[in-house]
Amino acid sequence: MGRHLISIEDLSLRDIKKIFSLTEELKRSPESFQNALRGHKFALIFEKPSTRTWVSFETGIFQLGGSSVYLGPGDIKLGEREETRDVARVLDRYLSGVVMRTFAHETITEFQQYFTKPVINGLSDREHPCQALADYFTIQEHCGSASKPVLAYVGDGNNVLTSLVYLAARLGAVLRYATPKGLEPHPSVLASARKTALSTGARIEGSHKPADAVNGADAVYTDVWVSMGEEKIRDQKLKQFKGFQLNARLMAGAKKKALVMHCLPAHRGEEITEEIMEGKNSVVFDQAENRLHVQKAVMLFLMGS
């Protein structure tokens, strides 16, 4: 069975360090890697919309000399036109790897059981590992890899926060998060991260108070209030997030030069204000750019290239 990246938990600290150092090389001299995936074909299987994940993977594969096919929601209809395990076994005969964006995390884990090459999670209901890797890479670029910056996350306790929690635990980082009541990360995620933290020295602290999370932080991160697939419960979620907006008042509690982070897409006026999103400390487009470099490193790492 090949290596895969379905959860941040699939990576050891050594793996993450290798991916980050490869990312630095890829970012510095992309031309040195232009044939690294020559002759390799990948599929991007997406059940949900995407800008960054879709285009950065397609571009990255192209820049490494490989090629890709995008299969959107209406194309193969995973689990509907055909069982996921059958699609996996067919595509295994053609491809070198897949990137998957699904509603249910289990669709990716089922696919992986029947696919012998790398499977990369491009967002599920449970995790967004490529995002978290790009985020911590961005933090290290701005704060230096030797420092121990405090990352504050204010928002939903779903996929993005889950991957950040796992990654912070592995890296021995300090992560303080505030979610509304009932939207905390799953207890099994926190239990696993806390176990990892015992050996890495990570500090993962959760509350329901945005001001407590942000207090003295070096970077402040948020995500949308209504995730893809939650459109029907939009009103309920907007109510739950009252008081969780990243605005000047909340940011005043962070360090003066605290980075402003967002995985994007952003909804100005909901989870973040225009002023904060466009402010001079915003690194949201560095995060987006780093998706490209980190994912190229992830592919080369998983392919053993």
Residue positions annotated with a catalytic role:
101, 128, 131, 223, 263, 291
158 contacts ligand NVA (rule: CB under 6 A): yes
223 contacts ligand NVA (rule: CB under 6 A): yes
Alpha helices in 64-207 (DSSP H): 84-92, 105-113, 129-143, 159-171, 187-200
102 contacts ligand NVA (rule: CB under 6 A): no
99 binds, among ligand CP, ligand NVA, none (CB under 5 to 8 A by kind): none
Q: How many residues bind ligand NVA (CB under 6 A)?
A: 9
Q: Which two tokens stand for residue 140?
A: 């290290």
CA 74 to chain centre: 24
Q: Which residues have CB under 8 Å from 302's CB, separation 6+?
A: 2, 3, 4, 5, 97, 118, 120
Nearest distance from C-beta of residue 231 to ligand NVA, angstroms: 10
Question: Phi, psi (5° rounding) for residue 269?
Answer: 95, -15
Residues that bind ligand CP (CB under 6 A): 50-53, 123, 131, 263-265
Q: Which two tokens stand for residue 95?
A: 């491809």
Nearest distance from C-beta of residue 38 to ligand NVA, angstroms: 30
Q: How far apart are the first and last CA of the chain?
A: 16
Q: Which is nearer to ligand CP, 197 or 288 (CB)?
A: 288
Region of 59-67, 89-97, 157-165, 243-251 interacting with ligand NVA (CB under 6 A): 157-165
Region of 64-72, 114-122, 219-227, 287-295 interacting with ligand NVA (CB under 6 A): 219-227
Nearest distance from C-beta of residue 55 to ligand NVA, angstroms: 13
Q: Which is nearer to ligand CP, 132 or 171 (CB)?
A: 132
3-state secondary structure at position 80: coil
Residues between 261 and 290 with contacts to ligand NVA, criterion CB under 6 A: 263
Q: Which two tokens stand for residue 22?
A: 């490869």
Q: Can you tell me the distance from the alpha carbon of 21 to that of 239, in angstroms, rounded to the nearest whole number?
A: 42
Nearest distance from C-beta of residue 4 to ligand NVA, angstroms: 20
Q: Which residues have CB under 8 Å from 82's CB, separation 6+?
A: 76
> Which amino acid is residue 258, in one-letter code?
A
Nearest distance from C-beta of residue 51 to ligand CP, angstroms: 3
CA 34 to chain centre: 25
51 binds, among ligand NVA, ligand CP, none (CB under 5 to 8 A by kind): ligand CP
Residues that bind ligand NVA (CB under 6 A): 123, 158-160, 223-224, 227-228, 263
